[in-house]
Amino acid sequence: MKLRLPALALVLVLLLAVLPSGARAAFSDVKPSDWFYQPVTAMEARGALSGYPDGAFRPKGIITRAEFVAVTARMAGLSPAEGQTGHWAVGTLQAALEAGWYDWDEIPPTGETFNDPIPRQLAVKILMKALLPQARGDYNTESAKMADFSSLDGRYYEAVLAAYAVGIVNGDDKGNFNPRSHLSRAEACALFLRAGDESARGQTRPVQPTPVPAPGETVRGGVTENGWLRVEGTQLCSEAGRPLVLRGMSSHGMQWYGPFASPQAIRNTAAFGANVFRVAMYTGEGGYLSQPAAMKAKVIAAVDAAIEADLYVIIDWHILSDGNPRTNQAQAVAFFAEMSKRYAHSPAVLYEICNEPNGAVSWSGDVKPYAQAVVKAIRANSPRSVILIGSPTWSQDIHLAAADPVAGDNLMYTLHFYAGTHGQWLRDRITQAQAQGLPVFVSEWGTSRADGGGGVFPAETKAWLDYLDARGISWCNWSLCDKDESSAALKPGTPATRAWTAADLSESGKLVFGALGG
């Protein structure tokens, strides 16, 4: 309490005392050999902030929220709001809030956090809103520069990506941005200086051709709202070109769990927030190859039910025990020719042409030529539907596809994971493949081990969902059924013939359905 008044007075002096232009104080604690010498002296010369009365600048001192906003306001020429009393910066903070530089909850105007240190992610947002409101950063390019991108809060993505894109922010020596760490006065000077220079040049880099997805920016919604899908860069987009995220459920094998792809079951799933449904038509294991007419009829009924519910729907040629898609390529070409003709005019339908190649199968020698043949058959009827292409090792080898992709538009590559089996290394593979320009769609994943059992892995699931969310990657979860296995979303015995409540969901179902709408 004793220290409060003098401390406030000091802050006033530091921020509001503008040195006469051209005056250059030699701070006792800022040496030409210090990395911050140039930004500190330049900022001081601009009169944007100054040192302490004792001749020190205290470069390692922490900058507060009020101080940061006050300096930014000075640089942006924002005048304080009138009629505010209390804290020395309250008028400026009010004006900044009204200008939309930050939201009420980030620095409540009630003042209790005015003198708290400002987290780096908030500082960057304020600076970008104030000085470089037009700047944008390509999501894939910029997020790849941050080793700790996943720890950034979603509301700061846009500003931080833009700041990286225009070169205002660089990571630390480990490539981390440290979104919640505080800024020293020296670091703040460097930020202010670069933002001021960039703003003065008046040339933020042009908007990237690839849309920038980020949660809150990506759109959801169904077919009526979004129309024909298209792939722009690595991002799935709506017909209007807005980054779109599809999230939903995969059926289990239609030969076993067809009732869970009924109109009621699909409506139930949509009610929990899904905007896509995947129809898993096994080829082997008693599926299409042994009973083509019956399986086709089930698939068509499920696709029609999904369309009726305004969902996007994936027709999945679910190879599994038949690990090499070339083995039954002729049947696949005929099947997809028929389906793409049937649904040629439906923007809802996506084609997944080989669930999970596995065993002795190569990308360039097997899967790619198979994909070329099936894509050609589909394109003869449906020139723009999105086609999903698998890869060897149960659709984990997207790096092979990235090195040698299939030619054509609106093609995406599936990546399948099981949270109890596959971790960071497989996420890194996505990051790398996207950096090479490969569009990725997670058309099947589970909260369990790769065999569908072994329990549910909540922490690993969260790491995956956060990652996919941050990258605007679409997904379908395995699987919508009541089988007594960890990956099943419904408790054993749950009927497909009525609406479901939370009480019907398995441990996995609770996790997944909870994430569908978000």
Kindly tell me which of 156 and 513 has the beta carbon lying closer to ligand DCB: 513
Instruction: Please report, as a single letter, which amino acid is at residue 351.
Output: Y
Q: Which residues are catalytic?
A: 356, 444
Per CB under 6 A, 450 contacts ligand DCB: yes
Q: Report the residue from 451, 492, 499, 517 that binds ligand DCB according to the rule CB under 6 A.
A: 451
Closest to 140 (Cα-Cα) out of 161, 115, 159: 161
What minimum distance in Å lies between the beta carbon of 423 and ligand DCB? 12
**Phi/psi of residue 13, nearest 5 degrees:** -60, -45
Per CB under 6 A, 458 contacts ligand DCB: no
In whole angstroms, give the CA distance from residue 515 to residue 465: 8
Kindly tell me which of 471 and 483 has the beta carbon lying closer to ligand DCB: 483
Contact call for residues 201 and 208 (beta carbons, < 8 A): no
62 beta partners: 184
What minimum distance in Å lies between the beta carbon of 273 and ligand DCB? 23
What minimum distance in Å lies between the beta carbon of 38 and ligand DCB? 53
What minimum distance in Å lies between the beta carbon of 485 and ligand DCB? 5
Read out DSSP for 260-293?
GGSHHHHHHHHHTT--EEEEEEESSTTSTTT-HH
DSSP assigned state of 136: -
Using CB under 6 A as the binding rule, the residues of this chain from 339 to 358 that contact ligand DCB are: 355-356
Per CB under 6 A, 513 contacts ligand DCB: no
Q: Report the residue from 452, 454, 458, 514 that binds ligand DCB according to the rule CB under 6 A.
A: 452
- H or E element at residue 195: helix 185-201
Binding track over 224-263 against ligand DCB, x by CB under 6 A: -----------------------------x----------
What minimum distance in Å lies between the beta carbon of 391 and ligand DCB? 12
Site size toward ligand DCB, by CB under 6 A: 17
What minimum distance in Å lies between the beta carbon of 450 and ligand DCB? 4
Using CB under 6 A as the binding rule, the residues of this chain from 112 to 171 that contact ligand DCB are: none
Per CB under 6 A, 198 contacts ligand DCB: no
Contact call for residues 181 and 122 (beta carbons, < 8 A): no
Closest to 443 (Cα-Cα) out of 377, 360, 352, 515: 352
Kindly tell me which of 39 and 253 has the beta carbon lying closer to ligand DCB: 253
In whole angstroms, give the CA distance from residue 452 to residue 487: 5
Read out DSSP for 374-401?
HHHHHHTT-SS--EEE--HHHHT-HHHH
In whole angstroms, give the CA distance from residue 460 to residue 156: 24
Q: Report the residue from 45, 144, 294, 320 that binds ligand DCB according to the rule CB under 6 A.
A: 320
Question: Residue 137's CB: how many other CB atoms inside 10 A?
Answer: 24
What minimum distance in Å lies between the beta carbon of 458 and ligand DCB? 18
Owner of token pair 């538009």: 409
Using CB under 6 A as the binding rule, the residues of this chain from 420 to 439 that contact ligand DCB are: 421
Kindly tell me which of 193 and 261 has the beta carbon lying closer to ligand DCB: 261
Kindly tell me which of 150 and 421 has the beta carbon lying closer to ligand DCB: 421
- Angle at CA of residue 111, ends 105 and 115, nearest 5°: 100
**Phi/psi of residue 186, nearest 5 degrees:** -65, -45
Binding track over 463-492 against ligand DCB, x by CB under 6 A: ---------------x----x-x-x-----
Q: What is the largest CA-CA distance in the chain?
A: 88
Residue 18 DSSP SS3: coil
Give every CB contact of residue 38 below 8 A, 6+ residues apart in sequence. Answer: 193
Q: Report the residue from 444, 460, 469, 482 that binds ligand DCB according to the rule CB under 6 A.
A: 444
The residue sitting closest to ligand DCB, measured at its beta carbon, is 452
Give every CB contact of residue 30 below 8 A, 6+ residues apart in sequence. Answer: 36, 37, 40, 41, 57, 59
Per CB under 6 A, 284 contacts ligand DCB: no
Kindly tell me which of 107 and 456 has the beta carbon lying closer to ligand DCB: 456
Per CB under 6 A, 460 contacts ligand DCB: no
Using CB under 6 A as the binding rule, the residues of this chain from 55 to 84 that contact ligand DCB are: none
Question: Residue 341's CB: how many other CB atoms inside 10 A?
Answer: 13
Owner of token pair 């984990």: 396
Per CB under 6 A, 285 contacts ligand DCB: yes
Kindly tell me which of 476 and 516 has the beta carbon lying closer to ligand DCB: 476
Give every CB contact of residue 513 below 8 A, 6+ residues apart in sequence. Answer: 272, 273, 489, 505
What minimum distance in Å lies between the beta carbon of 417 and ligand DCB? 8
Kindly tell me which of 194 and 416 has the beta carbon lying closer to ligand DCB: 416
Kindly tell me which of 92 and 355 has the beta carbon lying closer to ligand DCB: 355
Question: Residue 43's CB: how many other CB atoms inside 10 A?
Answer: 25
Binding track over 378-417 against ligand DCB, x by CB under 6 A: ----------------x---------------------x-
Structure tokens belonging to residue 70: 């006050």
Kindly tell me which of 244 and 254 has the beta carbon lying closer to ligand DCB: 254
Instruction: Please report, as a single letter, which amino acid is at residue 205.
Output: R
In whole angstroms, give the CA distance from residue 325 to residue 172: 46
Q: Which residues bind ligand DCB (CB under 6 A)?
A: 253, 285, 320, 355-356, 394, 416, 418, 421, 444, 450-452, 478, 483, 485, 487
